[in-house]
Amino acid sequence: MPHSEEIHMGTKWFAACLLGLWGAAPLPAGEARPEATRSAKVTILSTMLTDTAGIGEWGFAALVEAGDYRLLFDTGERPETVLRNAEELKIDLSGITDVVLSHNHGDHTGGLLALRQAMAARNPAALSRAHGAQGIFLPRRYEDRGETEGNPMLALRASYEATGARIAEHSQAEQLAPGVWITGPVERRHPERNFPRGGRVVTPRGKIEDTIPEDQSLVIQTADGLVVVTGCGHAGIANILAKARTIVPGVPVKAVIGGLHLLDADEQALAWTAGQMRDAGVSHLVGAHCTGLEALYRLRTLLGFDRRTAVVGAVGASYSTATGIDPRWLAH
């Protein structure tokens, strides 16, 4: 089914909304790529499943380590979840400056302010630079809420920036560190509809369908291939993988970690998705948050993976270029 023009959400209009960045270089097509990071590790700090450490919730957050560079990807839903889970996992977030927000939804942004306040008490620069993609501040309306504002980022931005922090809005892929990229808004090349129905975005052209246009992911270039971290994957994992391979051409995607919003996908959609992942070279999958339990296991079967290479993500579970997937005890 082809996309409607609304899915692109007024690209030309959005281009006028880009805020200033902190020296991050744009991604001109075809330019030489930076050297791959020597190592990468992604550790889940918020999701529904947990076992011997931490608390679960409907949300997502992950610590990303690429060489000496560390960032926080999403912040969970409840203010205390990532704080408590990081403490129980003996992870210190106070040395991290950058936070990547995958999209506006509260289950990915709800912990931002509490985390900033707690960590700033130890280090004034901690979690002081947040990165969203173009459209993250658009007003939202939902059928069941009338004209009530549905985008939590509008109020959160003011509170967060009152602490001395800043949020940048990116219109394209940007390099945050050697080998580490945010995708910015992901082009919807394939007709995936991995986003909730019933939402509307308020634009100068009127209210149009909310396809979560700002949905962005993280791409890490390693010697073994690309590692892709997703929040909810509202842009569609096939579209995200295509974007990743545009950012770093000619390099397969080795691992995908995060939410893929496939919990409602039927068998046909899952088979198609598996084919797209196979074509991209994916060999490791940690499906957390909104991926869906049945969807994860169906993908594992369809891709020919096993319990070493595809697991349901739990709090504390990780993927490392050195050791592969560590699912912890409950999901092993």
**Residue 129 belongs to a domain with what CATH number?**
3.60.15.10
Under 8 Å between Cβ of 147 and 141:
yes
How would residue 35 be classed by pLDDT, with cut points 50, 70 and 90?
A: confident
More confidently predicted of 146 and 62? 62
Structural domains in the chain (count): 1
Residues contacting residue 41 through CB under 8 Å, at least 6 positions apart: 64, 65, 318, 319, 320, 321, 322
Alpha helices, DSSP H only, in 285-330? 293-303
Query: Is residue 188 pLDDT above 80, yes or no?
Result: yes
Q: Which residues of 143-158 are buried (b: 16+ CB within 10 A; e: fewer)?
A: eeeeeeebbbbeebbe
Q: Can you give the pTM of this predicted structure?
A: 0.90
Mean pLDDT, the chain, integer: 90
More confidently predicted of 198 and 17? 198
Query: Is residue 5 pLDDT above 50, yes or no?
Result: no
Q: Smallest Cα–Cα separation from 330: which of 317, 256, 319?
A: 317
Under 8 Å between Cβ of 66 and 320:
no
Query: Is residue 169 pLDDT above 70, yes or no?
Result: yes
At residue 6, the pLDDT reads 36
Query: Is residue 218 pLDDT above 50, yes or no?
Result: yes
Query: Is residue 66 pLDDT above 60, yes or no?
Result: yes
What whole-number distance in Å separates Cα of residue 157 and Cα of residue 168?
A: 10
Q: Smallest Cα–Cα separation from 151: which of 203, 194, 187, 115?
A: 203
Question: Which pLDDT tens digit goes with each residue over 151-163?
Answer: 999 999 999 999 9
User: Could you tell me if residue 128 is inside a domain?
Assistant: yes
At residue 235, the pLDDT reads 98
Residue 225 phi, psi (nearest 5): 135, -175
More confidently predicted of 34 and 300? 300
User: Could you tell me if residue 231 is inside a domain?
Assistant: yes
User: Could you tell me if residue 126 is inside a domain?
Assistant: yes
* Burial of 187 per CB tally in 10 Å (0-12, 13-18, 19+): middle
User: Could you tell me if residue 176 is inside a domain?
Assistant: yes
Q: Which domain holds residue 49?
A: 37-322
User: Could you tell me if residue 221 is inside a domain?
Assistant: yes
More confidently predicted of 118 and 145? 118
Averaged pLDDT, 214-218: 98
User: Could you tell me if residue 23 is inside a domain?
Assistant: no
More confidently predicted of 29 and 257? 257
Question: Which pLDDT tens digit goes with each residue over 296-312?
Answer: 999 999 999 999 999 99
User: Could you tell me if residue 332 is inside a domain?
Assistant: no
At residue 34, the pLDDT reads 56
User: Could you tell me if residue 8 is inside a domain?
Assistant: no
At residue 154, the pLDDT reads 96
Share of the chain above pLDDT 90, in %: 82
Share of the chain above pLDDT 70, in %: 89
Query: Is residue 22 pLDDT above 90, yes or no?
Result: no
